[in-house]
Amino acid sequence: MHLYGGLPYPVAVGILILFCLYLGLYHALFSGILACVRLYFGRQSALWLVPFAWVAVELARARVTGFPWDLFGLTQIDNPFLTRLAPFAGAYALSFVVALVNALWLIRIRIRHRPYLRPFIVAAGFVIVGFYVIGLSRIPGQHGSAPGATATLVQENLEVGAARTGPEETRVEMMRSFANLSRNPQHVALNGIPGVHATSIVTIPSFPYVLSPGVPSYQPADLIVWPESPAGFQTNDPDFVERMHALADTTHAPLIIGSLGVVTQPNPDADRSYFLYDSAAFFTPGSITMERYDKIHLVPWGEYIPFKRFFFFASKLTAGVGDMDRGTERNLFTAGQHRIGVFVCYESVFADEVRQFVNDGAEVLVNISDDGWYGDSGAPWQHLNMVRMRAIENHRWILRSTNTGITSSIDPSGRVVAALPRHIRASINVPFGFEQDKTFYTRYGDLFAYLCALVTLAAVVAGLRGRASGIRVN
């Protein structure tokens, strides 16, 4: 907020503290639920509620205040045994298991004080765990069809916010550079991600991009993707539209281009003469039309100011905040006989929203993002892991094109099969495939999480009633 948002340092620190307190409310809610249940059912029974309450609180974090970043289950993204649950109940199922294991450890400590119950509880525990392991092992692992298509993913590596230190390129220069990358993808891969075969990392010079002697000529791709970025390409710019149509025609490939969707008409909500969207523009070879998907789930305080009437002073405090409008439809793009679903940046965090693209018929998913705002923190890797979970939940290939990394192709089992190094301007040809099946999670969404919420609510109501009547179950 200080480096990229332009806020004074004391204000940024104050907002950070408030944000931590806000997230801390969910931990307080979790503790309050257990305390309420303990008063009526006792401590041992309250521990059995732990996994249900934890999932219910995670669901509230996603649905009430809209910040389900790094759910507990994401810790198991590289555990192929547990990720078999994701196509049925999403990341919440993995959160449930992790919370349950921790609760069982505490229950084990508790039964040490009741030696006469040990044989029965230990035996029951072995039976439950045995049935669970056997049942889970019978669930087949996720495997996608052989990748029969190729995409060219462009990584623009544009500086963002206060990081802008070098000379800025004009939009025309950037379009030429990125078009050149689209026609001449490099063959590089990234070390450090499980499942990626390490290859030598090729350093690609920054703009102006010069094609090195001996680099093979353009190999036709089935799709070209440019990321969400601060390039500022606008869909109402005739030059931009003309150049993108020309690129689609010369490469014979559909284009998905991160851009600003500008619709010129009065906007009463923003008191301006146009609507502004964070968009993915779609161009097809031989066509003179352009399609667009407009981002629906915007980032609060980053792309819009929530509750403007109450935070009327925020426009002065957050000079770097955008003022975007929300999209209204989850449009799918059609390339040949296949349908493509695109979600933009922060939308990848919301599993129940991403699955709707697949439920509507998307055979492959594309995620465009600008993770440059995260700097060199762990957030880009966390963001990648959440996208990997979306691939597992929906059994779909995901093509991920980012501004500064991590640009990658992810298979339906969540494995990164190809990626670019971070912080370089480059492009890469990656394999992907089309899938037609629909998982249980794709069809029914967060049903398991809502069941956990119902169990938790029932336990809390029973605890409150028992406390009011003075009855306690030991």
pLDDT in tens, 11-49: 889 888 988 898 899 999 999 999 888 887 777 778 889
pLDDT in tens, 326-377: 888 999 999 989 999 999 998 999 999 999 999 999 999 999 999 888 888 8
pLDDT at residue 446, as a whole number: 94
If you classify domain 149-434 with CATH, what class do you get?
A: alpha beta
Q: What is the mean pLDDT of the chain?
A: 81
pLDDT at residue 113, as a whole number: 55
- Cβ atoms of residues 227 and 155 within 8 Å: yes
Higher pLDDT, 211 or 233: 233
pLDDT in tens, 136-155: 666 666 666 677 889 999 99
pLDDT in tens, 220-252: 789 999 999 888 899 999 999 999 999 999 999
pLDDT at residue 310, as a whole number: 62
Whether the per-residue pLDDT at 205 is higher than 50: the answer is no
Please state the φ and ψ torsions of residue 261, each to the nearest 5 degrees.
Answer: -80, 115
pLDDT at residue 206, as a whole number: 35
Q: What is the mean pLDDT of residues 58-76?
A: 90
pLDDT at residue 12, as a whole number: 82
- Cβ atoms of residues 419 and 408 within 8 Å: yes
Whether the per-residue pLDDT at 438 is higher than 60: the answer is yes
Please state the domain extents for the chain.
9-142+445-469, 149-434
